[in-house]
Amino acid sequence: MTGVSAPARRVVVLGVGNLLMTDEGIGVRCVEQLERNGTLGPEVVVIDGGTSTNELMDDLQNLDLLVIVDAAATGQAPGTIVRMEGSTIPSAFSNKLSPHQHGINDLLAALTLLDRAPARLVLFGVEPHTLALGMELSPVVGATIPELCARITKEVATACA
Amino acid sequence: MRIVIDPVTRIEGHLRIDCEVENGKVSEAWVSGTMWRGVEQILLGRDPRDAWAITQRFCGVCTTVHAIASVRAVENALDMPVPKNAQYIRNLMIAAHAVHDEIVHFYHLSALDWVDVTSALKADPAKTAALAESLSDWPMNGKAVMTATKDRLLKLVESGQLGIFANGYWGHPAMKLPPEVNLLAVTHYLQALDIQRKANKIVSILGSKTPHIQNIAVGGVSNAIALNSQSVLTMERLLAVKEAIDELKQFVHQVYNIDVAAVAAFYPDWVKFGKGVTSYLAAPDFPLDEKGTKFETVGGYIPDGNLAAYRPITTFGDPFLRDNVAESVQHSWYKGGKGPLHPYKGETVAEYTDFHEKAKYSFVKSPTFEGRPAQVGPLARVLMAVAAKHEPVLAHLTRILSTVEALTKTKVPLDALHSTIGRHAARAVMCAMNVDILEKQWKLLIDNIAAGDVATFEKPVFPRGEVSGFGFHEAPRGMLSHWVVIENGIIKNYQAVVPTTWNAAPRNEKGEPGPYEASLAGTPLADPERPLEVLRTVHSFDPCMACAVHLVDTQKRDIVQVRAL
C-alpha cells in the first residue's frame, strides 16, 4: 500500500492549534502567513488543521515529508522556536500541552499501522507566552512568524531539491 | 473503596471519574470536567455573522456542528428563512459529518473496550472468514483479508511498539469475544479507517475545506450552483458526493450494523448495565423547508422512560424547548447563588475550589429540562422515533435487533435499549438513517436545481434594539443548542449548551446525578485496578470534553491515571 509512484514529492505543512486560546494558535497563524507569502512550491500543500485530526487522514497519508507547526511547551523562554525530527516527536506529543496533540499522535499511529506514515516528520514548535482566552497571539510569539516561515520554507525547499 | 480515572476520553479529553466501589460494583459515581474554557466570552461584542466561524474552533471533533447551530441561532433571532438549497447542502454536510463520527466512534474510540486485539493473534483466519461470510455479504471478509490483518498485527507485536493499540486492557477478564470475532473486529477497524475518509470527503466537497468548513453564512450557504461551470458546485462534484454515499451505505449496512449486533450478542449482560437517566431529549433535524417547520427526523422529550408521555419538538424556535432549558452551577466551579439560569441569562464566571464531591467538583454545568436531568444522544433520537412511530428509523431498529435475535436466539425487548450496549445499537441505527438522509437530501438538491432554483443565500438584516434566538442541531453526541442575544447587530450574550454538558453533568440544584453518573451505578468491576467496565459505559456516550467544559489544564498529566484508593 505504500510507495505510491507519484512523480513529485508529496509534502504537507500542517499548522495545528486552537485559535481561541491566544498562543495556542501559533501553528495555524503561521500557515496562514505561509499561504499569503506564496514562497512554497505549488506542490506543497498547506493545511490549517485546527484541533482536528481524523479529518486529515486523506491529506497526510503516504507523504514524503510532513512538517507540523504547533505551540510546544519545552520550558524555554516564550517565543523560542524548537525543531524536532523523526522519533523524538511522538514523545514530545505524549507530554501534551493541549488535547489536540494526543489526536495527532493517534493519527500518526494509525498511518503507521496502515504503512502510510510520512517518510519524514519534522516539527517546528514555539514556546507559548500565554494560553489565555483570545484570538490574538502575544507579541513575543507573533514576532516568531517571519523566522518560522523562513525556516519552514528552507526545510521544504531542501527536501524537494 | 474509591477508584479515580483521569482522564477518560481517548480524544479531546479532560474528564475525571470517581467511583465508590462496594462488593465489586460501583455504588456511586462523580463525573468531573477538569478544564475550564469559557470560550463563549470571545464572542461578546462581535458581529453575529462571524460567530459560526469562531464557534467551529470550539472543538476539533465537532467543528461543523457548532457552525450549524450558530447560524441557526442567529437566523432564529432574525426570524429569517433560509433557501431550500442551503438547507439541503447543510443537511448533506451534517449527515456526512454524523456518519463519519458514528463510524469513528464505534471502531476507533470504543470498540477496543470490547475487542481484545491480542486475542486476535490466536484466531484462525479461515474460520474468521467463514464466520464473517455467514453474517454478511461484505466483499472484504475473505480469508486473504483476515490473514493480512493477522500478519499486520504480528508485525506490530514483534516490533515491540503497539502504537495505536498500546493502551488497551488486553487479557482483561471482562473481554468475552472468541479470537475469530476479535480478528474480524480488528479487520473492520482497519477498513473503517479507510471508509471514514469517504464521509469526510462529502463534507470537504460541499464545505470547500475541512476540518473547518467555509461555505456557511447566516442566511444560507456561499456555494454558488452552476451545473456546467468549474470552481462552483458542479454536477461532477455532486456525482462524487453520490459515489461516496453509496460506499458508505454498503459499509454501514454490511459491516458496522452487523458488528454492533455481534458485540451485543456476545455481551448479553450489557443490556443490564449503564441505564442511568431515562428522561430523554432530542431535537428534530434536517429541515426540509425554508423556516424549519418540517424535518427528516423527529425530536421531543420523554420523561422517565415513559414513551406514552412523549411530547414533540416540531419547529425551529419551538417554545417547548426554548422555555424549559436551564443550567445549574450548584456543583460546578462557577460563581452561583442565582439558582438555575436560562441560557439567555447564562453566566460563566469561574470559581475553582478543588474537588469536593458534596459541594463543587466540575467545570461542567448541570443542564436540566423542566427541572430534570436528561440524556441526549442517538438513544434519545431512536426512542423519540419509537414514541412518534417514525417508520424510517423503526425499520433500521427492527433490522439490527433482528440480527441480534438471530445470533442469540432470544427476543430482545425494547427496554434493553436503556443500557450501555443499547447506546451503541442506537448509534448504529441512526448511522443507517443518516446514510438514507444523505441519499434523500442529495436527490432533493439535484431535483430542486433541475427545477431551476439555484438560490443559496438570503441576506440577513439586523434590527435596532435587542433580539434573541436559539439554534438547535442533533449533533452526533446529542442535542446541541446555541443561544444568542443580539443588541444593535452586536452579540450581547452567547451560550452553547453542548451534548456532553447534558450527559456529563454533575449533580444539579436538587442533588440529582447527571446521566454518566447515574449510568455507572451497579456496574460490576472484575478488577478495580483496571476499570474497563466503567470505561465501556462512559465511552458508550461518546464523551467529547473539549467544549463541554468551559482554561487550559495547567497541570501536565500522564495519558491515563487510575488510582485505587
Largest CA distance in chain A: 45
User: Is the pLDDT confidence value at B491 over 60?
Assistant: yes
For residue B373, cis peptide bond before it (omega within 30 degrees of 0) = no
Q: Mean pLDDT throughout A11-15? A: 96
A90-104, B383-397, B501-515, range with the lowest pLDDT: A90-104
Question: Which pLDDT belongs to residue B34?
Answer: 72
Q: Mean pLDDT throughout A65-80? A: 90
Tell me, letter by letter, the H, E, C secondary structure of B454-486.
CCCECCCCCCCCEEEEEEEEEECCEEEEEEEEE
Residue B524's domain is classified under what CATH number? 1.10.645.10
User: Is the pLDDT confidence value at B49 over 70?
Assistant: yes
User: Is the pLDDT confidence value at B506 over 50?
Assistant: yes
pLDDT tens for B522-537 read: 999 999 888 999 999 9
Tell me the pLDDT band of B8, cut-offs 50, 70 and 90: low
Tell me the pLDDT band of B165, cut-offs 50, 70 and 90: confident
Domain ranges of chain A: 11-160
> Which of A54, A104, A106 is the best substitution to test chain B (most B C-beta atoms within 10 A)?
A54
Q: Does B210 touch chain A (CB under 8 A)?
A: yes
Give B169's Cβ-side CA count (13 Å radius). Answer: 24
d(CA B51, CA B41): 11
Q: Mean pLDDT throughout B438-453? A: 95
Contact predicate A51/A107, CB 8 Å: no
- In the three-class reduction of DSSP (H, G, I as helix; E, B as strand; rest coil), residue A47 is classed as strand
Q: Does A51 touch chain B (CB under 8 A)?
A: yes
Question: Which pLDDT belongs to residue A76?
Answer: 87
Question: Which pLDDT belongs to residue A72?
Answer: 84
Provide the residue range defining the domain that includes B58: 2-564
User: Is the pLDDT confidence value at A102 over 60?
Assistant: no
Contact predicate B185/B414, CB 8 Å: no
User: Is the pLDDT confidence value at A98 over 80?
Assistant: no
The 10 Å Cβ neighbour count of residue A39 is 16
d(CA B283, CA B471): 10
Chain A CB contacts of B39 under 8 Å are 20, 133
B11-15, B19-23, B62-66, B229-233, range with the lowest pLDDT: B11-15
Domain count, chain B: 1
Give the three cell numbers for residue B11. Answer: 480524544
Chain A CB contacts of B59 under 8 Å are 51
Beta strands at A120-126 and A65-71: parallel, antiparallel or unpaired: parallel
Q: Mean pLDDT throughout B389-415? A: 97
User: Is the pLDDT confidence value at A21 over 70?
Assistant: yes
User: Is the pLDDT confidence value at B390 over 70?
Assistant: yes
CB contact under 8 A, B63 and A50: yes
- In the three-class reduction of DSSP (H, G, I as helix; E, B as strand; rest coil), residue A16 is classed as strand
d(CA B392, CA B542): 24
pLDDT tens for B187-242 read: 999 999 999 999 999 999 998 877 788 899 999 998 888 766 655 788 889 999 99
Q: Mean pLDDT throughout A25-39? A: 95
Q: Mean pLDDT throughout B155-174? A: 85
> Which of A28, A113, A131, A135 is the best substitution to test chain B (most B C-beta atoms within 10 A)?
A113
Question: Which pLDDT belongs to residue B545?
Answer: 64
Question: Which pLDDT belongs to residue B311?
Answer: 98
pTM: 0.93
Question: Which pLDDT belongs to residue A161?
Answer: 81
User: Is the pLDDT confidence value at B547 over 70?
Assistant: no
Q: Mean pLDDT throughout A49-60? A: 84
How far away is chain A from the Cα of B192, in angstroms, using its nearest Cα? 11
- B89, amino acid identity: I
Fold of A11-160: Rossmann fold (3.40.50)
- B279, amino acid identity: S
Q: Which helix (H) or strand (E) holds B181?
A: helix B179-207
Tell me, letter by letter, the H, E, C secondary structure of B340-402.
CECHHHCCCCECCCCCCCCCCCECCCEEEECCECCECCHHHHHHHHHHCCCHHHHHHHHHHHH
What counts of helices (H) and strands (E) characterise chain A? 6, 5
What's the mean pLDDT when you consider all of chain B?
91
What counts of helices (H) and strands (E) characterise chain B? 15, 16
d(CA B37, CA B511): 25
Contact predicate A68/A121, CB 8 Å: yes
pLDDT tens for B125-136 read: 999 999 999 999
pLDDT tens for B314-367 read: 999 999 999 999 999 999 999 998 999 999 998 888 888 888 999 999 989 999
Give the three cell numbers for residue A48. Answer: 490549517
Tell me the pLDDT band of A86, cut-offs 50, 70 and 90: confident
Question: Which pLDDT belongs to residue B217?
Answer: 95
What's the mean pLDDT when you consider all of chain A?
85
d(CA B404, CA B439): 26
d(CA B284, CA B463): 28
Among A48, A54, A95, whose Cβ lies nearest the Cβ of B212?
A: A48
Question: Which pLDDT belongs to residue A32?
Answer: 96
Q: Return contacts of B466-470, CB within 8 angstroms, 24+ apart.
A: B466/B492, B467/B77, B467/B78, B468/B77, B468/B344, B469/B73, B469/B74, B469/B75, B469/B76, B469/B77, B469/B78, B469/B79, B469/B317, B470/B73, B470/B76, B470/B317, B470/B321, B470/B322, B470/B343
Question: Which pLDDT belongs to residue A7?
Answer: 53
Q: Does B551 touch chain A (CB under 8 A)?
A: yes
CA B47, B53, B59: angle at the middle one, nearest 5? 130
Question: Which pLDDT belongs to residue B481?
Answer: 96
Question: Cell numbers 436527490 correspond to what residue?
Answer: B443
Among A95, A103, A135, whose Cβ lies nearest the Cβ of B60?
A: A103
DSSP B271: G
Q: Mean pLDDT throughout B33-46? A: 81
d(CA A48, CA A36): 13
Q: Does A1 touch chain B (CB under 8 A)?
A: no
d(CA B555, CA A41): 40
Kindly report the backbone phi and psi dihedral angles of residue B347, in degrees, each rounded to the nearest multiple of 5, phi listed first. -125, 145
Question: Which pLDDT belongs to residue B10?
Answer: 42
d(CA B390, CA B519): 27
CB contact under 8 A, A51 and B556: no
Residues near B193 by beta carbon (within 8 Å), at least 6 away in sequence: A57, A110, A113, A114, B107, B108
User: Which of these, B200, B549, B542, lies nearest to B381 by C-alpha position?
Assistant: B542
d(CA A34, CA A49): 14
- In the three-class reduction of DSSP (H, G, I as helix; E, B as strand; rest coil), residue A98 is classed as coil
Chain B CB contacts of A134 under 8 Å are 42
Largest CA distance in chain B: 71
Name the range with the highest mean pLDDT among B56-60, B356-360, B461-465.
B461-465
B230-239, B279-288, B417-426, range with the lowest pLDDT: B230-239
User: Is the pLDDT confidence value at B549 over 60?
Assistant: no
> What distance lies between CA B149 and its chain's CA centroid?
29
Contact predicate B501/B325, CB 8 Å: no
CA B42, B46, B52: angle at the middle one, nearest 5? 75
- B76, amino acid identity: N
B76-90, B162-176, B384-398, range with the lowest pLDDT: B162-176
Q: Mean pLDDT throughout A71-85? A: 88
> What distance lies between CA B228 and its chain's CA centroid?
37
